[in-house]
Structure 1
Amino acid sequence: MDLRQLEYLQAIAEQGSFSRAARALGLSQPSLSQRMRELEAELGGELFLRGSFGVRLTDLGTQVVAQGSAVLRQVEQIRTEARSRTGDPVGDVAIGLPTSVALHLTVPIVREVTRRFPGIRLRVIESMSGYLQEWLASGRLDLALLYKLDGAPGLRITPILTEDLYLIAARAGHEEDRASIPMAEIVPLPLVLPSREHGLRQNIEAAATRAGMALQVGVEVESLVHMKELVRDGDRFTILPFAAVREEVRAGLLIARRIVDPVVRRPVALAVSAERPLSQGARRVAEVVEHAVQRALSGRADP
């Protein structure tokens, strides 16, 4: 097995077709097919299912693609590290951001990285914290922001700050000016929250359980945009950090009341793999991300 075979395999998986992969790689299709047959013979199993649907990976193929991608990223990191030693950092850096912060952190992070490190090709992936943690472990991501600081084997966690959580309601029908709301008043309210796989939901329910309370979650929605839209309808509430609704509060669409008795907070941390060293480019991006988080999330920053 060689790196070129892994590159060919990844191209076929991405293109879903031997012919399209061959064109993308600048190879003839018979030559590409021959290299894949050699790889299958060496591994002792089929990597693809071929049919009218095109090409699909077998279980073995899926495993090899995942592991091969990590290998190819490590090889590319070696190359870029060597080039970076003679100048500014270069190469690919992939970062993961939870949805609740991606809306207001993606643009400033991209702008700052582009301004300071033009040789870095940045890729920003937005998803739930659980998925980001898995992708860090597999090598798909170089670094990510996470909310869970425990139960993350194989990761190196650097706490950045903690942020308060707020009850979010529609402005219409809730004109009373209250900066805070006790947890006990939230218990009977119909909430729209993400599923239990989401770090935000886990944090909220853990706080409620410690206080001996059970929340009423009537709707589960993974999309932050849709959660806020449902709250604007006026008959549902949600719980979010203030930064996730800052613009809607300024526009007079939503109101945010800090949860007290008990205060509910969640930690924000920067996570990287404990097993793979960061490239110089990834280290510089990590610095940008940490500063961006501190600027955007520290304090409520009311309008």
Structure 2
Amino acid sequence: MDLKQLEYFVHVAELGSFTKASDLLGIAQSALSRHVRKLEVELGQNLLHRDGRGVSPTEAGKRLLSHGHGILLQVQRAHQEVADVRGAPIGNVVIGLPHSLGRILTVPFVSEFQRAFPHAQLSITEGLTIHLHEWLKAGRLDISVLHDPVPSPSIETFPLQQDDYFLLCPGMAEGARGKTVQLADLAGYPLILPRRPHPMRLQLETQLANLGRKPQVALEIDAVPAIADLVAQGLGYGLVTMNALRVHNGPAQFSFRRIVSPAMRSTLVLGISAERPLTDLAQKTVEMLRSFIPAHLQQRQPRPISKTRNS
């Protein structure tokens, strides 16, 4: 399989258009079409559905596309490993961040990275933990920050910090901040929760089931800012960590109750592939992230919330 043909196919499939891919790659559309067709002939499969509106991958094309990202990234890493021998780390490292942390970590970390590695490139993508986990396994990410990932032999993780979950209440309707709520009592609240298999949703359902209860789901929403907006309008209650809520800049708009008996906690980890070696640049980036993230999040702690717990 010709790597150039694979690269052309990936661009065409992602953009859904030979014309757009031609403009991006700077080659003639006819030449691009010819390369992709040669790849199809070699594999004995049609990789793209073609119509007047553009193109879309066939089932075979979808499978090749999922492998293509990883293959091209591995080739890039191989070039990078050889270049690293000459001196300071260069090349590109790809990091995944949850939506809940991207807005508060991306800008300061980019500045830190550029100071440390002025000749290297950094790519950052955001997503839900379940998607970041899959992209990391597929080789589309070098490193990813994950919330409570499902254990996997293909992913090595390094704990960064633990955060308590709070019941997010509209305004001050639920009393002064700093009070607590029994886990079993959450079954009595109309909750706005992310869909399964979100780690927090699974943790809540499991812990309530152990107490013979189940959650009352008012709405299923995956994005923390949207959950916060809906809570502010009085449409339900949310379960959030303080780190997640800071993205919404909303601590002053709500009241919180720490969940106790038992507590619910989210573990933030740094994940890398256990099956592919890291480049020198990626290894150094892991070391930087392991110190940078806890320190930066600690600096952004809101005013202390009473830690008084129900007896």
TM-score by length of 2: 0.88
CA contact 1:203–1:266 (8 Å) conserved in 2: no
Shift of 1:296: 4.4
Q: In the alignment, does 2:44 pair up with 1:44?
A: yes
Shift of 1:139: 1.1
Aligned to 2:145: 145
Aligned to 2:250: 248
Aligned to 1:260: 260
The code of the aligned residue for 2:140 comes to: R
CA contact 2:177–2:257 (8 Å) conserved in 1: no
Please say which of residues 292-301 and 1-10 is displaced more in the overlay. 292-301
Q: In the alignment, does 2:289 pair up with 1:289?
A: yes
The code of the aligned residue for 2:186 comes to: I
Aligned residue for 1:50, secondary structure, equals: strand
Aligned to 2:309: none
Any idea what the Cα deviations from partners look like across 1:110-161, whole Å, max 9, x if unmatched?
2222222233322222211111111111111111122335442411122223
1:1-303 pair list within 5 angstroms: 1-246=1-246, 247-249=249-251, 252-297=252-297, 301-303=301-303
Shift of 1:50: 1.4
Alpha-carbon distance in structure 1 between the residues aligned to 2:149 and 2:25: 42
Aligned residue for 2:7, secondary structure, equals: helix
CA contact 1:243–1:296 (8 Å) conserved in 2: no
Alpha-carbon distance in structure 2 between the residues aligned to 1:138 and 1:98: 17
CA contact 1:164–1:266 (8 Å) conserved in 2: yes
RMSD of equivalent CA atoms = 2.2
The code of the aligned residue for 1:126 comes to: E
Alpha-carbon distance in structure 1 between the residues aligned to 2:177 and 2:276: 50
The answer for unaligned runs of 5 or more in structure 2 is: 304-311
Alpha-carbon distance in structure 1 between the residues aligned to 2:88 and 2:171: 49
Alpha-carbon distance in structure 2 between the residues aligned to 1:180 and 1:299: 24
Change (3 A) 1:105 1:207: farther
Alpha-carbon distance in structure 1 between the residues aligned to 2:111 and 2:103: 14
Any idea what the Cα deviations from partners look like across 1:234-271, whole Å, max 9, x if unmatched?
3421111122224422xx21122211111111222111
Aligned residue for 2:165, secondary structure, equals: strand
TM-score by length of 1: 0.90
* Identity percentage of aligned residues: 34
CA contact 2:13–2:48 (8 Å) conserved in 1: no
Please say which of residues 103-112 and 218-227 is displaced more in the overlay. 103-112
Alpha-carbon distance in structure 1 between the residues aligned to 2:244 and 2:6: 41
Shift of 1:68: 2.0
Shift of 1:231: 1.0
Please say which of residues 193-202 and 92-101 is displaced more in the overlay. 92-101
Alpha-carbon distance in structure 2 between the residues aligned to 1:300 and 1:47: 48
CA contact 2:49–2:57 (8 Å) conserved in 1: yes
Please say which of residues 24-33 and 154-163 is displaced more in the overlay. 24-33
The answer for unaligned runs of 5 or more in structure 1 is: none
The code of the aligned residue for 2:30 comes to: P
The code of the aligned residue for 1:276 comes to: R
Change (3 A) 1:177 1:50: closer
Alpha-carbon distance in structure 1 between the residues aligned to 2:192 and 2:80: 45
Change (3 A) 1:102 1:31: closer
The code of the aligned residue for 1:66 comes to: S
Change (3 A) 1:51 1:301: closer
Alpha-carbon distance in structure 2 between the residues aligned to 1:299 and 1:208: 33
Aligned residue for 1:187, secondary structure, equals: helix
